[in-house]
């Protein structure tokens, strides 16, 4: 009888590393929750750009977040652009950059930094 319980305990102990090693592989397929390749930390306030950045982090596919550089002394605003779940990382970066630049021309503003840049992409 003791041998029977030892075999069950040994089997369950051996299976624990196997379970944890396989769950790591399933998470590698999705980019959801990842900040990706961060080129510079985005300045986040409480506005729409904060919501856009959180949506970027939550996105499961190739995505990008572009924003203006922020200077406390000169700039009183942040303009951003995102592209979520694009076919590739490069396509996401191009679309996010275009969205940010469209915001600059729409509101006819000039920033001290000179424009938009990709802050993070995955």
Residue 64: per-residue pLDDT:
98
pLDDT at 22 over 50: no
Residue 2 located in a structural domain: no
pLDDT top residue among 71 and 24: 71
Distance from C-alpha of 70 to C-alpha of 59, rounded to nearest angstrom = 24
User: Is 21 within the bounds of a domain?
Assistant: no
Residue 39 in this model has a pLDDT that exceeds 70: yes
Q: Which residues contact 32 (CB under 8 A, 6 or more apart)?
A: 58, 59, 60
Say if 104 falls within a structural domain. Answer: yes
Q: Which residues pair with 66 in a beta bridge?
A: 81, 118
How far is CA 19 from each of CA 11, 26, 28, rounded to the nearest angstrom? 12, 11, 15
4 within domain boundaries: no
What is the DSSP secondary structure assignment for residue 59, as one 8-state letter? Answer: -
């Amino acid at each position: 009888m003791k041998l029977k319980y030892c075999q069950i305990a040994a089997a369950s102990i051996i299976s624990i590393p196997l379970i944890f090693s396989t769950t790591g592989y399933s998470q590698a397929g999705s980019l959801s929750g990842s900040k990706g390749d961060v080129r510079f930390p985005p300045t986040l306030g409480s506005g729409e750009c904060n919501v856009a950045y959180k949506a970027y982090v939550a996105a499961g596919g190739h995505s990008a977040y572009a924003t203006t550089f922020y200077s406390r002394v000169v700039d009183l605003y942040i303009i951003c652009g995102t592209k979520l779940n694009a076919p590739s990382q490069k396509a996401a970066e191009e679309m996010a950059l275009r969205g940010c630049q469209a915001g600059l021309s729409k509101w006819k503003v000039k920033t001290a930094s000179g424009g938009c840049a990709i802050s993070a992409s995955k």
